[in-house]
Structure 1
Amino acid sequence: MSDTLNGKGLALVPKTDAKQTLKDFKSDQEVRWCPGCGDYAILAAVQSFLPELGLRRENIVFVSGIGCSSRFPYYLDTYGFHSIHGRAPAIATGLASSRPDLSVWVITGDGDALSIGGNHLIHALRRNVNLNILLFNNRIYGLTKGQYSPTSEIGKITKSTPMGSLDKPFNPISLALGAEASFVARTIDSDRKHLQSVLREATAHRGTSLVEIYQNCNIFNDNAFEQLKDPEIRDDITLRLEHGQPIASASKAVVRAANGGLDVVPLAEAGDRVLVHDAHNPDPSVAFALSRLDEPAFEHVPIGIFRQVERPAYDTLMAEQLEEAVAQKGPGDLSDLLMGGDTWRIG
């Protein structure tokens, strides 16, 4: 197991001495998504990554909500919970807080997480519960057959917006940074190497990690991220975020703008002004500015870890508070609690 995976995020999760392979994490269920769906690539990447963790499968749990991505738990030979629409972060919070010996994952989509589940998502991020959230973003409602989602662009024509969407879309990275999430990253379904490198860092992180995964829905929103996959232009528009490294693509660079914000200029003109990425900066303002660089046009897109900082995890603080309460007041008794107040006899 790598040094990265020996991080604080897995410190309390039991390890296994048995050698594991991809096959150990494939369930006996038939994988059923539309042919060509980006979910297949993400599933394969996760299944081949999990053996690296060296964890007991009995101590890994995937919790999902509702949507195409939420079928994930069926296809992994770990524990899983296919929960209800938008509530996966709430259920995962309870699980992670009460069972620090588990590696807890949330699988969700842009519709599931950012519409009915928006409240639960931001509070899980704010609390910094020790869990990993994988947010599959295909900018459409796929399971319900092609309505616009909270990340669909303005003017998007769908079954539910025949004249074009009027909604300003959410930027999941900006939203997470606004909630002061301690780990925020973006990757893409078709780049397995990058996806798995982000997963390694997310898993080692103690607290909530949010990983937005650009995922293609080839039935209802095909080629939504084609620019990032086209070999002729992808290197020019992809701004790689690596801590301690200049933020640049093959032809562009990020620099400080005159107004104090960020700007993207031709690499040849940037000189020594190229911004060096600091993912560990406790101030999220620069990471937030980076998250806005792909708006309004999809001309340059930051990919990688936007923010990776340490702050106390909710479940750790809760455990310490419980220990303090027991030390001050004793272990308590459930029957005394139930019968300790006023009681009534009926009949």
Structure 2
Amino acid sequence: MCNASSNVQVEELRIGLFRVHWDLEKNMRIKKCGFFKNKLHLHGSQSGRIYNIFYIFESQDFDALYPYNFGIRLEEISCICDSSVAETNESAAKYQQKAERQKFNDTSFLPTETERKNVPPVRVWFEFEEANTTTDLELEYDKDDNHWKVYFFGQRQPFGITLFMDFGTKEMDEKIIINGLEGMFVTQTLCDVHFQFKDGQSVGAHIVILSAGSPVFSAMFQSGLLESKSRIVDIDDIEFDVFRQLLIYLYTGMAPKVTEESITQLLFVASDKYGVEALKNKCVNVLKTQLKISNAISILVWAHFHSIPKLLKKAMKFVLINCSKLSRQPEWMELMKNYPELCLDITQRISDLT
């Protein structure tokens, strides 16, 4: 085992979001072992939290395309207090429920700083650079052992990893504001713009909020377009349910149905049209997890058509690994017929492997 100490840099990008860069090049060159361990100290809004971070790699000679198997594990070894994750989650939920019953100017129910810091991160991921591209990989949370982990394959050994830890919006006053904005949208209170759809449905929204989250909406309502005068916008190319998810995201930073397979791709197209980059990235990350034998070819073609490098690379890797099964499907013949250049690329990659 190789231990490191001075080669970890921690930066708080915003309140609750940390970037951790671990430089492994020196350690690997001194001793090319397959197991590294380091201790991670957080500061700022999460000061006092300490984590063990493990990095494991091993070679696998049977796979010429991806000769290395990697693993990253993150476990908390010191918290602000000794209460368990389950207790802190329950505590946070209790305060949230109480907050919703209080007036906005009443701060007596807010949790203490210690109670807020005991809440575990809502998301952990890392960036992996390979072949001049950067891939985001999510770490899965194991509730039983209270740690985050991910395993993946690669073509070379990364000499450094960049890990992100997002503790989310834990400040209750920010939560109250978000809940208030969401409530205005749900109850359709004081809406100053309305969207109409082909099926006769309509939904209202607030120009200020839409303009803050979308440069396209901002330009639309500041211009002399008909929509900026009448405050009625006809939506002919996006389904009502998909557009509503887009609006909910602009109000709350969340799209509840983004993981539904019938929604994800359509939501990407909608967020691309209105310039909501964060939601586009979220859709791409979801699509990367939805890859399977039944949809790999269609997602590959879709990613190629929309020029999404991260998703295209992930889908291509999946297709290459499962080419023996996929080549027997009717979709493979459609791929050869309609996308000959893409099919040629796949064939050349398979040829290089063999």
TM-score (norm 1): 0.25
Normalized per residue, the structure richer in strand is: 2
Normalized per residue, the structure richer in helix is: 2
Q: Which has the higher contact order (CA 8 A, sep 6+)?
A: 1
Question: Rg: which structure is higher?
Answer: 2
